[in-house]
Every structure is written in structure tokens, then in C-alpha cells.
Amino acid sequence: MKKIELINLKLLYDKRGIHGLRNVNLEFNRSHVTALVGPSGAGKTTLLNALSNDLKIDSGQILIRENKIIKLGQIFQFEPSKNVLDTLLAYSIQPHHLSLEGIRYWLDFFDLTNEIENPLASLSAGQKQRVHLISALIQGPDFLLLDEPFGHLDETLRYEISQLLFPELKSKNIGVIWVSHDFKNAFSFSDRMVIMNYGEVQQVASPEEIYFHPANLFVAQFTGRTNVIVGEKINQQKIKTLFGEIEVSNSKENFLNFLVRPENILETDEGNGIRAKKIKTFFEGQSYLHLLEVGEQEILMRTTKNVEEVVFITLERDKIHFLPAL
């Protein structure tokens, strides 16, 4: 299987080393969907531009091998009066009859066959985005680079296009590397996520591993709400926490921090939990997020129904994740 490798990649925009890439080591495989995720200035688009050779790196190696890379930007430049077919033919590199075959395949796949003779100006935003995608796909990429491809679409359209597109690309052995700020889509449709911050890779793992076993506090807090709870060492096998004693494995630290997601904080009865006072509740549609106070500690708990002003809570001990002491 052909893959792309990045080895000790370094790219800096200024002498302070801000908004560049630092010591990036990554592999990208065909038929895998990889999401690049991080805050603004993390280096996501910079990495994409380095892969497409739109930016020159300062040091390191980018091993493209024989892979054909096509990058699709956020903005689709087109002539409004030109029809869909003529627009797409301009992007094709194959002979005319093969181009038509490929174009018709993707138009049918995206349910755009009836729009083939229509001017682009008459299409909806979602339809234009599909034509934009087809303009890249008919060029026969081994890897498709996407920079916030659905950022200007509403949530429903983003989900519909992602649900349609990514499984099809995997089945055709096309690798996808995409920049996304939509965590719901990134978690749902990526095989692997690369979490970045200040030009450095913080963690590379599956969405499940990222969410439940973040490499550090930044990853944990950036990928969703979380609780940071401090445990004080009793001995090498136990720590004392506000939820009682918790077993650990040969701890040498006097204090250990662990993370637990709000949905893993559970309401229970008085005899099996600790007392918490509700400060505020946020309605999230399918769930409620409660800000609770336990002594001097604030705790987030997510439930499917509202709770009383005073509740008793516990945690799912198999869902906690330990981090080194801060």
C-alpha cells in the first residue's frame, strides 16, 4: 500500500516560530480518512499546504512517492453562466469519452444528473459543493486534501455530504486528509484524528482513543467537556479523591490528576454517592449539561433529563483516564 510520510517536518513563518510546523512525523495511508483538528493557528492548513507543495518546508522530508495529490480549497471558483458539464470538463485530464464517463458517474452518485446542463448559478449551496468535489475526483487522486470543505454549509448538509462521500472514497482506495472544526463530523467519519496545537502534533489516534484516552490535558479539553479531578496519594496502589479511594498502578507521584467526561458522572442515591449542589443547567437538545458544586470543586455532569437542585453523584471508574500531575 502506497503511503505518504512526513519526517521531522519543520516550517516556520517567522523567527519566533509561531504558526508553523515543528517536528511533525506522520504517515497517511490510502483508503483512510484522517482529520486534522486543532484551534486556529495550530498548523492544520499549513500542513495541508506543505503536502500539496504550496509551501516550502524549512527542514525534514515529505515522501509523496508516486501518489497523486489533489487539494480542494474552501472556495469554488466558477463562471456562473457556465453549465455543470462544461465546468467539470475543464478539470478533467482524460480523453473526452472517458471524462464524460467519470463525470456522469459522480453526478449520478451525488444525485446531480438532472443538473448537468444547468448553469452553476442556478444550483443550491449544497449542489455547488458537490460539483466542487467532483471537479477534484475526476482528476483521479490517490489522496484528496480538503481544507474545511463543508464549513459554509449548515450542519444537516455537512452530515449528508460526509455520510455519502467518505465511505465511497474509502471503497475506491482514495486517502482523505481533511481540516475540520466540526468535531461531530470528525468523530463520526474519520478513521484517525491528528490533534495539533502551535504547529506540533499532540496526538494521533482513532476518534475513540482521542476522546476517552487523550494524551494530555489540551487534547482532553479541546475535544469536549471534561472534568479534571485531583487525587492524593495514599500508597502506590491507591489515591484519595472527592469520590473516595481509587486504585492506581504503582504510582510514584504524590498527586495524580485524572479526567472523566460529564456523561461518565452518574446520578445515584445518597448511600452510594457524594452530595452535589446544582449551580446551573444547560439544555443541549438531546441532553442536559449540569454544572455542579462539590465542596470547592465544580463538576460537569451530562444526563438525559433534568435533575434536582441537590443530587448525589458517583463516577464510572472504568471510564476515568489518568494524566501526569500538573
**CATH code: domain of residue 257:** 2.40.50.140
Cα 303 to its chain centre, rounded Å, is: 24
What sign for the dihedral angle of Cα 117, 119, 120, 124? negative
Give 139's contacts (C-beta < 8 A, 6+ positions apart): 68, 70, 91, 92, 93
Same domain, 281 and 266: yes
The answer on 98 and 38 residing in a single domain is yes
Query: Closest Cα to residue 48, out of 84, 83, 11?
Result: 11
Q: Do 207 and 241 fall into the same domain?
A: no
Boundary-marking domain end, from 176, 191, 222: 222
Residues 186 and 52 in one domain: yes
Does 163 share its domain with 302?
no
Tell me whether strands 33-37 and 175-179 are parallel, antiparallel or unpaired.
Answer: parallel
| Residue that terminates a domain, selected from 193, 222, 251 | 222
> Tell me, what's the pLDDT at 30?
92
Maximal CA-CA distance, the chain: 75
Find, among 297, 289, 291, the residue nearest to 257 by Cα.
297
What pLDDT, on the 0 to 100 scale, is given for residue 222? 92
| Beta strand spans in 67-173 (E) | 69-72, 143-147
Residues 317 and 208 in one domain: no
Element (DSSP H or E) covering residue 51: helix 44-51
At residue 233, the pLDDT reads 80
In order along its 326 residues, the chain shows pLDDT tens digits of: 589 999 999 998 766 656 689 999 999 999 899 999 999 889 999 999 999 999 999 999 999 999 999 998 766 777 888 999 999 988 877 666 667 888 999 999 999 999 999 999 899 888 888 899 999 999 999 999 999 887 777 888 888 888 999 999 999 999 999 998 878 888 999 999 999 999 999 999 999 999 999 999 999 999 999 999 988 888 877 888 888 888 877 666 666 789 999 999 999 999 899 999 999 999 999 999 999 999 889 999 999 999 999 999 999 988 989 885 54
Predicted TM-score (pTM) of the model is 0.88
* CA–CA separation, 215 and 225 (whole Å): 15
Instruction: Note whether 81 and 26 are same-domain residues.
Output: yes
Report the pLDDT value the prediction gives residue 10, as an integer from 0 to 100: 93
Sheet hosting strand 265-268, strand order edge to edge: 265-268, 310-315, 274-283, 288-294, 297-303
Print the domain residue range for 152. Answer: 3-222
39 and 105 belong to one structural domain? yes
13 and 94 housed in the same domain:
yes
Nearest to 51 by CA among 151, 175, 169, 158: 175
- Kindly state whether residues 167 and 29 are assigned to the same domain: yes
